[in-house]
Amino acid sequence: MCKFCDVRLRSPADSGGGSVPHLGRSSGTLPLPAGLGQPGRKTLIKGGAVLSMDPTVGNYTIGDVLIEGAKILAVGAHLDPADAAVIDASGMIVMPGFIDTHHHQFETALRSLLSDAILVNDGRPESTANYYEWMLQKFSVLYRPEDVYISELFGSIAQIDAGVTTVMDVSQIHHSPEHSDSAIAALRDAGRRAVFGYFEGWGDLAKYPGDARRIRAEHFASDDQLLTMVMGGEIYLPFHEEAWATGRELGLPIALHVVGTFGMQPTFDGLAMAGKFGPDNIFIHMTGMSDMAWQRAADAGAHISLSVPIEMQMRHGEPPLQKALDLGLQPSLSTDVECTMTADMFTQMRSTITLQRMIANEKALRGEDYPKLLSAMDVIRFATIEGARGLKLEHKTGSLTPGKDADVILLDATALNVAPLNHVPGAVVTLMERSNVSTVFCAGQVKKWQGSLIGHDIAKLRRELEASRDYLFEKAGVEQDLFRQ
């Protein structure tokens, strides 16, 4: 029998003990093993190409990952515990789940609406439907708590499908405490690791930034859970100093967009010169900032989150990838807004590596000195362990390290767009896409199994998302034109 059709109970001779299930792969989806991810239950992901992202663990051409409950127990070759359910990972790349450090998930209902938009209106006719006026001023103010919930949940599930096991949700939709609670409920119901970003909202019922204390006490009293919290500290808001102080009072990282398009440089420079930066800062985009502020950010140990395709598409400014690298800063990658660009990390990694190499290669062709070319492994690092470090979660996730939570993805390298497998990092970065994500574990729980999402009625949720979209368009007075120019 072909190994890809092998579904059997291992014999005592095979396992060295009692019968346990062996779950191979077939053309259909096999049943999910009972009790997977439960305390005390062991699962062995066996025979895959293991990309650990931990130099102390190493990589394995043919390797195994042993999970017990929510944790990674061991990574190596020829692991064969007698009491583990075995998942056949031959033909798979086994690696840590991707980490998205900045995603406005509330915009899921408005996907692709602003595909051609730039950030702010520059007065040209094609810039009328720009992000600032349409998303932040026209649509976002109309969201009800139920609109927040369905977009957050559907967006989270869609990223699980793409192998993103951790996200920082940066939803500027906190128009009331009920809006905030709905966002948190959706992140929790999705069942993956998430960092709730408490950013601003609009209207008389908005309680930002003071409601952070209630949210922290009610939802994030423990840091040992799948959901954690970040404080939004946007410097274009008049009360950003209060927001930063509140975040530091509560022991939360402070995240903010730093974009030259919005004229932020003077305020940012002022914070830099006043010594306000710290290792708890997450600076998103960092376009158009002074050399002085960059140096202060690097000296403070701040983290940089880059959204390379969005920054290029929407006129944030040239993604400052090389600037960060030259200062010794290892950035993470983030998807930003699905109203303009897809939220998968394959797109992010490819955009990042091709941008850096384009700039470096042009220098080389002109006979100039050029920086070290990024490798596929470099951008995978940005999309995994560097994201974990930026979100202060490296003790939990970002690599296949014994003791960390089992945030693991299996990528199909036998697929038509990848086979034959010749180079693991290269295949992940230059060939793969969402369709190659076969199986996804979040803290040991299977969320996608052999190509199928687990635990959600997608058709029902899609109908709810479409109803939310219809409400938002109607209230905004915008015609639903599928071929809008």
> Is residue 194 within a helix (H) or strand (E), and if so which, with residue range?
strand 193-198
In this predicted structure, the answer to whether residue 341 has a pLDDT above a threshold of 60 is: yes
Which pLDDT tens digit goes with each residue over 99-128?
999 999 999 999 999 999 999 999 999 899
Note whether 189 and 148 are within 8 A (CB).
no
| Per-residue pLDDT at 28 | 52
Helix (H, G, I), strand (E, B) or coil at 236: coil
Residues 6+ apart with CB under 8 A from 113: 134, 339
CA distance 116 to 129: 8
In this predicted structure, the answer to whether residue 8 has a pLDDT above a threshold of 50 is: no
| Partners of 254 in the β-ladder | 231, 281
| φ, ψ (nearest 5 deg) of residue 64 | -130, 150
Which pLDDT tens digit goes with each residue over 194-223?
999 999 999 999 999 999 999 999 999 998
* Residue whose C-alpha is closest to residue 132's, from 281, 270, 259: 259
DSSP summary character for residue 341 = S
Note whether 169 and 187 are within 8 A (CB).
yes
| Per-residue pLDDT at 36 | 73
In this predicted structure, the answer to whether residue 340 has a pLDDT above a threshold of 50 is: yes
- Where do the H-state alpha helices sit in 140-254? 145-161, 177-190, 212-219, 240-249
DSSP summary character for residue 103 = E
| Per-residue pLDDT at 30 | 66
Which tokens hold the place of 28?
A: 């259909």
Q: How many CB atoms lie within 10 A of CB 126?
A: 11
Domains and CATH numbers, the chain: 3-96+399-453 (2.30.40.10), 98-390 (3.20.20.140)
> Can you tell me which residue has the tokens 């309680």?
207
Which tokens hold the place of 327?
A: 């200062």
CA distance 20 to 86: 8
* Residue whose C-alpha is closest to residue 412's, from 72, 63, 90, 61: 90
| Per-residue pLDDT at 10 | 31
In angstroms, the Cα distances linking 291 to 40, 173, 177, 199, 327 are 52, 33, 39, 27, 10
CA angle (145 as vertex; 104, 133 as ends), nearest 5 = 50
| Per-residue pLDDT at 262 | 85
Note whether 197 and 220 are within 8 A (CB).
no
* Residue whose C-alpha is closest to residue 164's, from 95, 231, 223: 95
In this predicted structure, the answer to whether residue 24 has a pLDDT above a threshold of 70 is: no
Note whether 72 and 84 are within 8 A (CB).
no
Over residues 325-336, the mean pLDDT reads: 98
In angstroms, the Cα distances linking 407 to 56, 95, 401, 470 are 18, 9, 10, 35
Name the percent of the chain lying above pLDDT 70.
Answer: 93
Q: What is the CA radius of gyration of the chain?
A: 23
| φ, ψ (nearest 5 deg) of residue 319 | -55, 125
Which tokens hold the place of 446?
A: 């299977």
Which pLDDT tens digit goes with each residue over 67-92?
999 999 999 999 989 889 999 999 99
* Residue whose C-alpha is closest to residue 452's, from 94, 161, 184: 161
pTM of the model: 0.93
Which pLDDT tens digit goes with each residue over 150-160?
999 999 999 99
CA angle (103 as vertex; 101, 106 as ends), nearest 5 = 150
In angstroms, the Cα distances linking 6 to 25, 178, 285, 363 are 7, 50, 48, 53
> Please, what is the average pLDDT of the chain?
93
